[in-house]
Structure 1
Amino acid sequence: MKIAVIGCTHAGTAAIVNTAKLYPDATITVYERNDNISFLSCGIALYVGGVVKDPDGLFYSSPNQLADLGVVTKMLHEVTEVDAKGHKLRAKNLQTGEELEDTFDKLIVTTGSWPVVPKLEGIEMDNILLCKNYNHSNTIIEKAKDAKRVTVVGAGYIGVELVEAFQMNGKEVTLIDSVDRILNKYLDPEFTDAIEHTLTEKGITLALGQTVQKFSGENGKVTKVITSKGEFETDLVILCIGFRPNTELLKGQVDMLPNGAIIVDKYMQTSQKDVFAAGDSCAIHYNPTGKASYIPLATNAVRMGTLVARNLVRPTTPYMGTQGTSGIKIYEQNIAGTGMTETSAADEGLIVEAVVLEDSYRPEFMPTAEKLLLKVVYEQATRRIVGAQIMSQVDLTQSINTISVCIQNNMTVDELAFIDFFFQPHYNKPWNFLNTAGLQALRPVEVKAPALV
């Protein structure tokens, strides 16, 4: 069996390693256009902020490790054309310019995603940078050394993590987003209001609800960001607007979402026989809605990549879908969420209710009993849990993994009230806070008075 793999990121690495182990007699060739593989891009802010000192720890595989598994890795080779039906591809050696053709029995597409780059006046100027891969992170670190004022465009996870890192390194930081709340895709206002207050207290300028219109500068270097509501002087701009699936190679050959995300079945196969896909280049089954959605997360990617290998020869292990579970640490606050926010549920037309709990995570008689903020979102008619969010200075984020399992299994908020959790005063209360949220959501019991005889 001859297998070709395009791209070696999270999903690609998982697919390649597992494929090599499951099919030791297969010939596996990997095409990667970068000079490195398996970079943990979710660690960029930690690297930029100096928390991670040795970037080697952000790589979890290498061409040499893959070679030990019998895999041929062609680094700095860009695939320029794929004939999915004809089982052929063309690639270009980016060092020599040489072009080659190859055939395959099975194709694994793990081309990932690429940052959204808006077509704005002045965007080609120096010191306007992207934030996605290892080379980007090194450029950011180098450019930031001489920058006093840093502007981050995009208030998603990466953008918020970067402004924290820059602020802690003594920079004057501005965060711009066209939406009026940070992290709006992940958290409801109860959480984002508190986080925004913290960022503002740290001296970070929040320029929300305004759109970047153009950049201006001197001698080819950016000095100002002009938005729909004002101007911001800057020495460095980092674009974190979002990501788009990198799927041009298969356009018109496999089914895709309107944004270009490849649609796969539960066995990771595309609409074209013998062509599989995984990771940020794909749409994925989103359990809260039952629809295919674009949710680029490393956790989704490694699961999908592993499943590609298991299903490459025959359908074996189906994907169970995702809740889009994620987490972030912002200063002292540990934050996590899963499934839908109340806001996103409304956008999808779901009629939901929510319970919000503010409580101490363990008994108040303990030396410390830090507060937590928990929100559980559930469908009104069915009582099915569709999402949850938590924030605390104590790391309680693993509880969101528990809620993720609840959503996975279509559990109701009423069942959450009575799930069996252990009690130990070091860790929680006799009623775990997840139970307490469920109890608060319970409907009152109707008691009818006995009929008079």
Structure 2
Amino acid sequence: MKIAVIGCTHAGTAAVKAIAAEHPEARITVYERNDNISFLSCGIALHVGGVVKDPEGLFYSSPEQLARLGVDTRMRHEVLRIDTAAKTLRVRSLETNEEFEDSYDKLVVTTGSWPVVPDMEGIRLDNVQLCKNFFHAKEIIARAGAARKVAVIGAGYIGIELAEAFSDLGKEVTLLDNMDRVMAKYLDAEFTDAAEEALAGRGIRTALGERVSRFEGRDGRVAKVVTDKGEHEADLVVLCIGFRPGTELVKGQLDMLDNGALLVDEYMRTSDPDVLAAGDSCAVRYNPTGQQAYIPLATNAVRMGTLAGRNLVEPKVKYRGTQGTSAIKLFDLNIASTGMTEAAAEAAGLDAAAVTLRESHRPDFMPDAEEALLKLVYERGTGRLLGAQILSRADLTQAANTLSVCIHNRMTTEDLAYVDFFFQPHYNHPWNLLNQAGLAAEKQRAEALRRQAAEEQAGAEQAAAKEQAAAEPKPERRASA
């Protein structure tokens, strides 16, 4: 069996290892246009800020490791064309410019994603940088040394982490986003307010609700970011606007979302049964809604890649979907989220409610305790958990993983209120924070049901009164003389 894998970052690496384990007799060829594989791009900010000294630690596999599994890894090879009907590839070596044809019995598309690059004036000025791969990381570090004022465009996780890293390096940092809050995709206002306060406390300027219109330069190098509301000086600009799936090679051949994300079934099979796909090139099943969504995360990628390898020939293991669980450390704040924010639930048209809890993370009799901010989002009628967010100076981020399992299993606020958690004063209260949040949500639900019942009773009484009034005989009118 001849297998071709296109792309070898997280999903590709996981897929190749799974295929080699499942099918040791197969001829596996990997085509990767970069000169490295398995780069953990989430570590770029740590490397920029000097936390990670040796960038080699940001790789967890290599062509040599794959070769020991019998895999032919073609580095610096770009696939130019895919013909799924003929099961052929057109490939070019980026070292020699030689082009050749290859064929496959099974194809695994793990082409990942690429940063969104807006088509605007000045985008090609020197020192306007992307942030995705190892090459970008090296470029950012090389250019940051001489930079004094840095603008980071995009206040998602990557943008926030880079802003912190540049601040730690002593740079003047401006963080821009067209949304009116940082990390608005992941967190509601109670949490983003705390994050923005932390950023301001470290001297990082935020320019929120501003849309970048162009870049201005001096001697070919960027000098200014111009938005619809003002101007910001910068001699280094890093774009962290977002990502789009890299699926142009199969456009018109495989089913995909409007943004190009490939649609796969629960066994990672595309609309062509001999083509599987995984990672940032794909849509995923988002469990809070049950719908397909584009959520590019390394955690999704490694799971999907492994499943693509396991299910290559026959369906064996189902994909369980995702809650989009994620976390970030911002200075001394530990923040994590899973599932839907309250704003996202409302935007999706769900009848959702939320409860927010502020509580010390362990008993007051302990020598020290940190305040924890915990929010649950749930379906109003059923109490089904839809999402959660947690923030504290204490590291309570694993609570998001626990709540992710709860959402996955369609647990309710009542389930959460009474599920078993341990108690130990070093770590928590006799009623765990998650129990407390479930209890608060159940109290909120009970009060809402009482109000609804009272309103329904009042409405029924008003209707009965009107009906009785209508049924009573009216006095006859006397004709005037």
How much has 1:86 moved relative to structure 2?
1.4
Richer in helix (by share): 2
How much has 1:85 moved relative to structure 2?
1.9
CA distance in 2, matches of 1:256, 1:431: 46
Partner of 1:52: 52
CA distance in 1, matches of 2:370, 2:233: 40
Deviation digits for residues 112-159 of structure 1 (CA, Å, limit 9, x no counterpart): 000000011011100000000000000000000000000000000000
Mapping of residues 337-356 of structure 1, within 5 Å: 337-356=337-356
Partner of 1:3: 3
Matched position secondary structure for 2:203: coil
CA distance in 2, matches of 1:409, 1:273: 29
Residue type of the partner of 1:354?
A
Question: Which ranges in structure 2 are unaligned for 5 or more consecutive residues?
Answer: 451-481
How much has 1:96 moved relative to structure 2?
0.5
Count of residue pairs brought into register by the alignment: 447
RMSD of aligned alpha carbons = 1.0
Partner of 1:224: 224
How much has 1:110 moved relative to structure 2?
0.2
How much has 1:21 moved relative to structure 2?
1.1
Matched position secondary structure for 1:390: strand
CA distance in 1, matches of 2:84, 2:413: 46
CA distance in 1, matches of 2:367, 2:53: 34
Residue type of the partner of 1:352?
A
Q: State whether structure 2 residue 201 is matched by structure 1 residue 201.
A: yes
Partner of 2:73: 73
Matched position secondary structure for 1:417: helix
Matched position secondary structure for 2:368: coil
Partner of 1:31: 31
Partner of 1:167: 167
Q: State whether structure 2 residue 399 is matched by structure 1 residue 375.
A: no
CA distance in 1, matches of 2:94, 2:113: 20
CA distance in 2, matches of 1:304, 1:442: 36
CA distance in 2, matches of 1:196, 1:427: 28
How much has 1:201 moved relative to structure 2?
1.4
CA distance in 2, matches of 1:307, 1:429: 39
Partner of 1:419: 419
Matched position secondary structure for 2:418: coil
Partner of 1:155: 155
CA distance in 2, matches of 1:333, 1:413: 26
CA distance in 2, matches of 1:232, 1:361: 40
Partner of 1:451: none
Partner of 1:363: 363
Q: TM-score, normalising length from structure 1?
A: 0.98
How much has 1:382 moved relative to structure 2?
1.5
Q: TM-score, normalising length from structure 2?
A: 0.92
Q: State whether structure 2 residue 17 is matched by structure 1 residue 17.
A: yes
Work out which of the two has the higher radius of gyration on C-alpha atoms and give 1 or 2: 2
CA distance in 1, matches of 2:349, 2:85: 39
Question: Which ranges in structure 1 are unaligned for 5 or more consecutive residues?
Answer: 448-453
Mapping of residues 240-251 of structure 1, within 5 Å: 240-251=240-251
Deviation digits for residues 247-304 of structure 1 (CA, Å, limit 9, x no counterpart): 0000000000000000000000000121000000000000000000000000000000
How much has 1:84 moved relative to structure 2?
1.0
Deviation digits for residues 49-92 of structure 1 (CA, Å, limit 9, x no counterpart): 10000000100100000000000000000000001121111100
CA distance in 2, matches of 1:13, 1:260: 22
Note if contact 1:115-1:243 (Cα within 8 Å) is conserved in structure 2.
Answer: yes
CA distance in 1, matches of 2:178, 2:351: 27
Mapping of residues 107-186 of structure 1, within 5 Å: 107-186=107-186
CA distance in 2, matches of 1:223, 1:87: 49
How much has 1:335 moved relative to structure 2?
0.5
Partner of 2:434: 434
Residue type of the partner of 1:179?
M
Note if contact 1:85-1:272 (Cα within 8 Å) is conserved in structure 2.
Answer: no
CA distance in 2, matches of 1:324, 1:440: 24
CA distance in 2, matches of 1:277, 1:138: 29
Partner of 1:100: 100
How much has 1:37 moved relative to structure 2?
0.6
Partner of 1:258: 258
How much has 1:442 moved relative to structure 2?
1.3
